Amino acid sequence: MSQPSFDDRLNRVSRKHRNLTSGMVYRLGPDGLISAEPDRRATVRFPLRPLLFIAGVAFVFKVVLFVGLGEGTYMARLSHLQEGRVVERAAAWAMQPDPATRALADLVKQLRPT
């Protein structure tokens, strides 16, 4: 009879802990032992952190383009995108310079060495 290695037991405990972080249910076993098991209803989660990261990167990209191209060229390219297909129009809508983009672009222009 072989015993599981320490790494196998550690991986099993880590996996159970990770599963318990999203919710748990306490069960009473036939021997009277109360144990925590993962709540299967709470395991489906929306990946909010990666989506926020992607949105932040897209915002920084928009600011860099706005500063690098200049407002005139940037708006000319946006008008060209607005005449395109559905995907291009959606990109043009997302790339419209909002007040936050303009404020951050002004800050970058002030900090940028000339």
Per residue in 5-47, pLDDT (tens digit) is 898 999 988 988 888 887 888 899 899 999 888 887 755 567 8
Per residue in 56-88, pLDDT (tens digit) is 999 999 999 999 999 999 999 999 999 989 999
Residue indicated by tokens 């310079």: 97
Tell me the helix, strand and coil percentages in the chain, rounded to 5: 65, 10, 25
